[in-house]
Amino acid sequence: MIKIFIIALLINNIVIMRYLALCSYVGMTSDVGQSVGMGFAVTFVTVLATAATWPLYHFILVPLHLEFLKILVFILVIAALVQLVEYYLKKNVPGLYAAMGIYLPLITTNCAILAVTFENISNNYSFITSIVYAVGVSAGYLLAMVLLAGVRIRIRNSTVPKFLQGTPILFVATSLIAVAFMGFSGLIK
Amino acid sequence: MKRLWTLFKQGIIYENPLLMLMIGLCSALAVTTNVSNGIGMGLAMTFVLLCSEIIISLFRKVIPSSIRIPIFIIVIAAFTTIIDYVMQAFFPELSKSMGVFIPLIVVNCIIMGRVEAFAYKKGIVDCVADSLGMGLGYTWVLVAIAAVRELLGNGTFAGLQVMPDSFQPILFFTLSPGGFLVFALFISFNIWLKGRMNKTQARRDVAKEDAA
């Protein structure tokens, strides 16, 4: 269980080693506070989405032999879930909504969440393992977001070669972060 | 005819989804470790884009705008499911090596963006030109990135040995840091090219004004 968590968090980090969720990685890291907010919003929705799609797949789609509908069902469940969470937070926890609200609509199309729900199915994880995997992956996402946000502060205060200014330097920085992350690969045999 | 050609060219070069608009990056970096994956992903994407744009364009008059997004998602998800099963049946190797990225076509921003911004407003013929342009524009960039990474990282091109035996493969390029680096260089080349094009255009405009 811990092994799965560590692999999802560091060794196969969802953003840095597996290139998922790059849109928000580039778009939402211009300051640290924002990236933390997005990271927690994604964690919240990923865990909820896993908790909703796993029973749905194993108790409804499999007995009815409707496995081929999984892409359609999962994306709709996630979209509906995000809407519900948004309404619930708006009404009952306005403080949290103010902090997280603007990120929620963006999350529907975040490929990390959909990828986690698919992988839970294709790896035949049990319900508990799926939740642990979801937490690990989203913690990895949070980590990557905060790392890049920190690097971007430094980039702003340094002279970047002219041909790399703008987006290219972000990818070069990510490439270097990825080299560092490759060092984790020996952590678990 | 000329109008369609212009639309087609938009996607290939001027509004290339990956290099100019920088959307749909996730799959672009993940599958480009070798050329055959790049071609497979590009064509799968083109298929989904083409079919979704045609369907949305056909039904654009009857889709109420308040619930258009869920309808787009359902249409895109249906075609993604089709291509997923087709690939599993006919190209099992390719499908296995791309793994979760085929189902993830459904959340690719390129498709959603084109359907929302183009197919929902334009006729069916325009949509075919636009989706082919965008799809092939996506494909050629994938193949170009994949060619660089495979050649340097493995010494092969689409599985065929090209480099001499004395060439030591640079593993860096097939692993994730290499992907980010190659992509960074592609974007920076493209920004440079765009700047050049704008300068030439400006010079031409000035020349025209002088002549007038």
| Percent above pLDDT 70 for chain A | 98
CA–CA min distance A98, chain B (Å): 25
> pLDDT by residue (tens digit) across B170-190?
888 888 889 999 999 988 888
pLDDT for the residue A134: 95
> pLDDT by residue (tens digit) across B60-91?
899 988 888 889 989 999 999 999 999 999 99
Average pLDDT over residues B43-56: 94
- Give yes or no for B80 touching A (CB within 8 A): yes
Q: For residue B134, what are the CA distances in angstroms to A4, A5, B112, B140, B190?
A: 38, 38, 12, 10, 17
**From the candidates A174, A177, A181, which should be mutated to test the interface with B, based on the most B CB atoms within 10 A?**
A174
Task: Quote the distance between the C-alpha of residue A12 and its chain's center.
Answer: 12
Query: Considering only CB atoms, which chain A residues are within 8 Å of B112?
Result: 109
d(Cα B126, Cα B116) in Å, to the nearest integer? Answer: 14
Q: Which residue of A has its CA nearest to B30?
A: A19
Give B200's contacts (C-beta < 8 A, 6+ positions apart). none
| Token pair belonging to B151 | 């050649």
Count CB pairs under 8 A between chains A and B.
Answer: 107
Global model pTM greater than 0.95: no
Q: What does the domain layout of chain B look like in residue ranges?
A: 2-211
- Give yes or no for B107 touching A (CB within 8 A): yes
Nearest to B79 by CA among B4, B131, B141: B131
**Which residues 140-179 on chain A approach chain B with CB closer than 8 angstroms?**
163-164, 166-172, 174-176, 178-179
> pLDDT by residue (tens digit) across A7-62?
888 888 888 888 888 878 887 888 888 888 888 888 988 999 999 999 999 999 99
Q: For residue A71, what are the CA distances in angstroms to A120, B60, B75?
A: 13, 24, 11
